[in-house]
């Protein structure tokens, strides 16, 4: 099975073409492939392109724990660059269907930069989802072990919990992110962003990603956090998002449509060995690997 590896600000994904294998990409196989000690290693798998009735391409996104994600901003930039590298797209914008909705993408700077129209952010509890009566989830309290946070919830096709703080660290994200991800308020689990507002046009975030853990960068997290900063009146509509892996630029419209721009780097391409999957269900046909 061929693979193509890219990273977007240190958030790395493997792109797999469904034409290269005939068996299901089940959670066990996904976990093996993504394992950084026993597999190729990545923050997830981008499976595509698939045909679509409503877009030029369709994409499935898998977390390293084997669960499926509705949308990933970094994943979409990487997949867009992959399509460009394979000469399936050119300089014109193109559409991609995800479980979290349609996006439009365009590749720039000889593949080094990708801009994505991510869709619309919603703060409504039934759309995110967050348990309880239908409401916009803005500055509510949430208990998390030894701390109580004020949070806002949002969706841009996948769920987010944004926590504004005066100071943020990787240690805070790692300690509390894993608790908040599976908090009973979020029936589908949630991505978590700890956000510090730096200026009217700049925020900093630390990220705990659903199904992946502590993450150096995230496009959908940047989109959600920027939308929350704009919603709370803490930032203007053009926002630079600083993360440990680097910068993403977000434009938030008055109706909370998101335009995201960030870098993509190609890392490697190669083939996985059948030996990687020793011990898995022998009913799976691995003949395509050899």
DSSP for 112-147, written as a single string: TEEEEEEEE-B-BTTTTT-SSSS-B--SEEEEETTE
Q: How do the domains of the chain map onto residue ranges?
A: 2-112+266-289, 120-261
Q: Does 2-112+266-289 match 120-261 in CATH topology?
A: yes
Which residues are CB-contacts of 218 (< 8 A; sequence separation ≥ 6)?
11, 72, 73, 74, 191, 193, 207, 209, 243
Closest CA to 42 of 287, 211, 224: 211
Domain range 2-112+266-289, its CATH number among 3.40.640.10, 3.10.310.10, 1.10.1060.10, 3.90.480.20: 3.10.310.10
Pair type for strands 45-50 and 11-16: parallel
Question: Hey, what CATH topology would domain 120-261 get?
Answer: Diaminopimelate Epimerase; Chain A, domain 1 (3.10.310)
Cα separations in angstroms, 285 against 24, 30, 60, 140, 290: 10, 16, 21, 50, 11
Q: What is the pLDDT along the chain (290 residues), one digit of tens a residue?
A: 899 999 999 999 999 999 988 778 899 999 999 999 999 999 999 999 999 999 999 999 999 999 999 999 999 999 999 999 999 999 999 999 999 999 999 999 999 999 999 999 999 999 999 999 999 999 999 999 899 999 999 999 999 999 999 999 999 999 999 999 999 999 999 999 999 999 999 999 999 999 999 999 999 999 999 999 999 999 999 999 999 999 999 999 999 999 999 999 999 999 999 899 887 765 445 443 33
Tokens describing residue 81: 């660059």
Q: Cβ-count burial of 182 within 10 angstroms (0-12 exposed, 13-18 middle, 19+ buried)?
A: exposed
- Residue 187's SS3 state is coil
CB 289 within 8 A of CB 18: no
Length of the chain: 290
CB atoms inside a 10 Å sphere around CB 194: 26
Which residues are CB-contacts of 151 (< 8 A; sequence separation ≥ 6)?
137, 139, 140, 141, 142, 161, 162, 163
CB 112 within 8 A of CB 85: no
Q: How far apart are the first and last CA of the chain?
A: 9
CB 210 within 8 A of CB 69: yes
Q: Cβ-count burial of 164 within 10 angstroms (0-12 exposed, 13-18 middle, 19+ buried)?
A: buried
């Amino acid at each position: 099975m061929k693979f193509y590896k890219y990273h977007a600000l240190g958030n790395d994904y493997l792109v797999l073409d469904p034409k290269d294998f005939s068996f299901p990409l089940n959670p066990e196989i996904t976990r093996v492939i993504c394992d950084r000690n026993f597999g190729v290693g990545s923050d997830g798998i981008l499976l595509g392109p698939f045909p679509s009735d409503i877009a030029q391409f369709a994409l499935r996104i898998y977390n390293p724990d084997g669960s499926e994600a509705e949308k990933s901003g970094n994943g979409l930039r990487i997949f867009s660059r992959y399509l460009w590298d394979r000469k399936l797209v050119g300089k014109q914008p193109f559409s991609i269907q995800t479980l979290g909705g349609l996006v439009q993408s365009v590749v720039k700077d000889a593949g080094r930069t990708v801009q994505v129209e991510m869709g619309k952010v919603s703060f409504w509890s039934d759309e995110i989802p967050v348990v309880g009566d239908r409401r916009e989830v803005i500055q509510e309290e949430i208990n998390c072990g030894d701390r109580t946070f004020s949070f806002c919830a949002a969706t841009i096709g996948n769920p987010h919990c944004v926590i504004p703080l005066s100071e943020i660290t990787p240690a805070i994200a790692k300690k509390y992110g894993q608790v908040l991800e599976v908090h009973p308020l979020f029936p589908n689990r949630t991505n978590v962003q700890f956000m510090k507002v730096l200026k009217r046009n700049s925020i900093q975030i630390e990220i705990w990603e659903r199904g992946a853990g502590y993450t150096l960068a995230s496009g959908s997290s940047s989109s959600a956090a920027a939308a929350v900063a704009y919603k709370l009146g803490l930032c203007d509509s053009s926002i630079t998002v600083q993360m440990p892996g680097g910068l993403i630029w977000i434009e938030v419209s008055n109706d909370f449509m998101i335009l995201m721009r960030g870098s993509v780097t190609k890392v490697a391409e190669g083939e996985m060995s059948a030996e990687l999957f020793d011990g898995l269900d022998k009913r799976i046909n691995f003949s395509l690997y050899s």
